[in-house]
Chains A and B, each alone.
Chain A
Amino acid sequence: MTTLTLAKALNEGLRRSMEDDPKVLVMGEDVGKLGGVFRVTDGLQKDFGEDRVIDTPLAESGIIGTAIGLALRGYRPVCEIQFDGFVFPAADQIITQLAKMPLRSLGALKLPVVVRIPCGGGIGAVEHHSESPEAYFTHTAGLRVVACSNPADAYTMIQDAVRCDDPIIFFEPKRRYWDKADVDLAAPGLPLDRARTVRQGRDVTLVAYGPMVKTCLEAAAAAEEDGRSVEVVDLRSLNPLDMDVLTESVTRTGRCVVVHEAPVFTGFGAEIAARVTERCFYSLEAPVLRVGGFSTPYPPSRLEDHYLPDLDRVLDAVDRSFAY
């Protein structure tokens, strides 16, 4: 066991991946000497050289487009998009090419490209630095979309993502980068496409991923003081979705609240609500509720505490669920 921040756990995971497979490349803006603006790639260029840890020109479409070419040639690029809001210049390459080329080749081509995106708000940043673009990518068939929420998972998930032969959008909750926890560097970890129940409870299931897992755990602890037993599921993988864990949980608790930072309207929570309703209709005591951002652009940072779901808003939704 060793104690690592989430950022350092990713760094260790990337290091392992690069040691294990000489075809693994890290590429992006400022990933070299600077080690990335969040230092996730810190020290990698020093140890693996400029050919494997590539400071790219400032061009996101270029980063993903050339990563596709490198993958076609047998490499396994791990691309860093500096901030969530800057993935959009690369959206064309991700959506029209990365996601669809394997199918186009009837499976002859594999594109093992990982696109790492620090996501979400809560760090007092300016525009385009706090967004939650997951729905754009979960909506795009051909991509796997995952989100880590804690150091131990981050460590294994990044390695599994690099090993995976499919393109993966890998979300990292930037405001949790500095959270520390014990990580067993030898443990295999849960498979990449599985959800995990991170807290057991009887009365209601909170469903979250990435930055909101911690918020939900805090809400669950607070609810316990009021005598409510709250279960928390960390989805980990958004596409594919692990419906078995969700179905089992909600069938037992009878209530479900989905929490994410992105706007609720056509957000990822809508998919969960629909699927849980289909699977658990006869067990549900209340409609599946959603807590998330408003139908507005992410606000200037002085207002972000209002926009981001916090413990109170999660508990309020739990109360509303019980009011049915």
Chain B
Amino acid sequence: MTADAPRGVDAPPELVQLLTPEGERIEHPDYDIELTAEEVRSLYRDLVLVRRIDLEAVALQRQGELGIWASLLGQEAAQIGSGRALTDADMAFPTYREHGVAWCRDVDPVKLLGLFRGVSNGGWDPAEHNFHLYTIVIGSQALHAVGYAMGVQRDGAEAATIVYFGDGATSQGDVNESFIWASVFNAPVVFFCQNNQWAISEPLEKQSKIPLYKRASGFGFPGIRVDGNDVFACLAVTRRALQNAREGQGPTLIEAFTYRMGAHTTSDDPTRYRLADELEAWKLKDPIERVKAYLFKNQLADQEFFEKIDAEADALGKDVRSRCLALPDPPPGAIFDHVYAGAHALLDEEREQYLTYLAGFER
């Protein structure tokens, strides 16, 4: 691939795929998966609902209700597939675009919106969902995940840890150090890299000369590339990697080969750096359309089912919107809350001084 050619138009041969873009089910010798009709419908529902949350968030940003938003458009299958592979006991460490994984972990989407609206820098209790806080500094969370997994290992618990990051993040020292740690300590962790081909304006070629999944071998653990737009394959591959981790076989790097359909964030202008044909080529690989085609072809769902899901998505969109608009600004005193677990004299003094100063304006 040269820097200017549309990337990902021809799927790389080593890609694990179980469902083609046309909705054909295909077999894989190592990674097959049995899914009931009900399970497939449920995956479809998740894909549609998280896309709707995302679209609503983009609209809210455009209307000035969110400062910024990092859209997951195009990456739904990678997130829902991997997210649904997790058991309740597993722990997930996201970056800032994992709205689909958050959905699988039952985090209220409005809490995600709150972060981008600027009412908090997090807003949920990670322990309640086994879904850690969003991390904005690229790559930091990879080391946290490995440390957490080392804790799980010491506790002898039946659980795995998964950490999400992008293609750009693989350049960071922290991510490379996390590979080393995971490898030498045989930590029960799965590295889930969503290779969406771009790190803001920089194509994958600016981060790596080799396919990302191959990085793993240099660190001494397996790497595997999966069709990131195929929810079945993402589910199957992640489930296996998590199981291996739980069974003491150590880490796996999964590279979900996918595409960022929108801008990097709502502040970005992708027309400055990427070609329109690339986008067109990837549209044909849409993660939702292929499950829909599969359900239709195999008569596992009828028109009524799809309408019902659409209606549910509409209702969810409305609900998310109205609750986002209703999010109040925190009171000024909140600046001083939760900075320390214990009492802190300087902070108490500053809080009192500032609130007194503010009260002066009311007189």
- Using a CB–CB cutoff of 8 Å, the interface residues on chain A facing chain B are 29-30, 32-35, 37, 55-59, 61-62, 85-86, 88-89, 124-129, 265, 294-297, 299-304, 306-307, 312-313, 316
Contact = CB atoms under 8 A, between A and B. Distances in A.
A32 B199 CA distance: 13
B200 A29 contact: yes
B68 A33 contact: no
Nearest to A299: B335
Interface string B200-234: 11100011000000000000000000000000000
A112 B267 CA distance: 33
Contacts of B354: 294, 306
B273 A34 contact: yes
Contact of A35 (B169, B272, B346): B272
B136 interface: yes
Contact of A58 (B96, B169, B336): B169
Contacts of A300: 115, 118-121, 330
A230 to B, nearest CB: 20
B206 A55 contact: yes
Contacts of A58: 138, 168-169, 171-172, 199, 202, 207
Interface string B344-357: 10110010001001
B137 A88 contact: yes
B137 A89 contact: yes
Contact of A302 (B68, B330, B357): B330
Contact of B67 (A59, A86, A125, A307): A125
Contacts of B151: none
A89 B202 contact: no
A300 B114 CA distance: 10
Contacts of B172: 58-59, 89
B314 interface: no
B202 A30 contact: yes
B56 interface: no
Contacts of B330: 300, 302-303
B12 interface: no
B78 to A, nearest CB: 19
Interface of B: 67-68, 96, 115-121, 136-139, 168-169, 171-174, 199-202, 206-207, 267-269, 272-273, 329-330, 332, 334-336, 339, 344, 346-347, 350, 354, 357, 361
Contacts of A301: 67, 118
B335 A302 contact: no
B200 A303 contact: no
B354 to A, nearest CB: 7
A312 B361 CA distance: 10
A89 B273 CA distance: 26
Given A55-B206, A57-B207, A58-B138, A295 B350 contact: yes
Interface-central residue, A35, A300, A313, by most chain B CB under 10 Å: A300
Contact of A29 (B96, B199, B268): B199
A59 B334 contact: no
13 contacts: A30-B201, A34-B269, A37-B267, A57-B207, A59-B172, A86-B138, A89-B173, A128-B136, A296-B339, A299-B334, A300-B120, A300-B121, A302-B118
Given A295-B346, A300-B118, A30 B200 contact: yes
A127 B206 contact: no
B335 A294 contact: yes
A248 to B, nearest CB: 32
Nearest to B118: A301
Contacts of B96: 126
Given A300-B118, A302-B118, A302-B329, A59 B171 contact: yes
Interface-central residue, A33, A58, A313, by most chain B CB under 10 Å: A58
A137 B118 CA distance: 28
Contacts of A306: 332, 335, 354
Contacts of B273: 33-34
Contact of A126 (B115, B169, B350): B115
A88 B174 CA distance: 12
A294 to B, nearest CB: 5
Contact of A294 (B68, B119, B138, B350): B350
A126 B67 contact: yes
Contacts of A299: 334-335
A316 B361 CA distance: 11
B68 A61 contact: no
Contacts of B347: 294-296
A313 B346 CA distance: 19
